[in-house]
Amino acid sequence: VHAIEEAAVIAEKTMGITMRGIVTAVRHFGPEKARQTARCAAETKGSFITGFGLAGDEKVLRPKDYAYAFDMAREAGLRLTAHAGEWSGPDSVRDTIRDLKVERIGHGARAIEDMALVEEIAESGIVLELCPGSNVALGIFPSFRKHPIGEMYNRGVKVTINTDDPPFFHTTMEREYVQLHEAFDWDDGVFAKIARTALDAAFCDADTKTRLLKTLEAADA
């Protein structure tokens, strides 16, 4: 963790990239490993480690089996996110929100299969970390045009644009933006609004958000 933090500091100084760390439990390693990971996150929480998450095989066990780990992380003051609604359907998203009380959902695209859930997500302000390029590459959706990010955005869901794993999926943020522009005819105003949503949902302190907001506003001017 300390080595990653040192690399993040160097990256910010040399490349202007601001990063924060989310300690992530792997679902298919089981609840006990998740508790150990949450304990590690709590012990290393600070200016760099600001969040706790859950990734891995969504079909292994149930979200509530990891509730204790999330309770530990929450009590330590960590922000919370968890993967759901990528390979599993809308019930995984609903159960994750209810049982783990997260602020953000990693992926969450298959919530679109239940419009009542989409409405609940929009009303609650839960943020979706959507990864269109990844979803298309893995065959979850046939194309960017068929990806639900457009409908979710139109329905008031707080969506963000993410690359998931850039080297593996041969993508970049620029490519995601270009593909979404071509699919939905989104203009700079839409992308600026989504970027602001991402900044508002970022697991960082208020001073860092203020500084990054100035950068975002300058780029949008």
Active site members: 86
Describe the crossing of helices 173-184 and 188-201 by its angle, rounded to 10 degrees.
130
- Any alpha helices (H) in 45-85, and if so which ranges? 67-75
Task: Give the HSE-up count for residue 183: Cα atoms under 13 Å, Cβ half-sphere.
Answer: 19
Distance, C-alpha 145 to centroid of its chain: 21
What burial letters (b/e) apply to 47-69, b meaning 16+ CB within 10 Å? ebbbbbbbbeebeeeebeebbeb
Q: State how far the Cα of 200 lies from the Cα of 204, in Å rounded to an integer.
A: 9
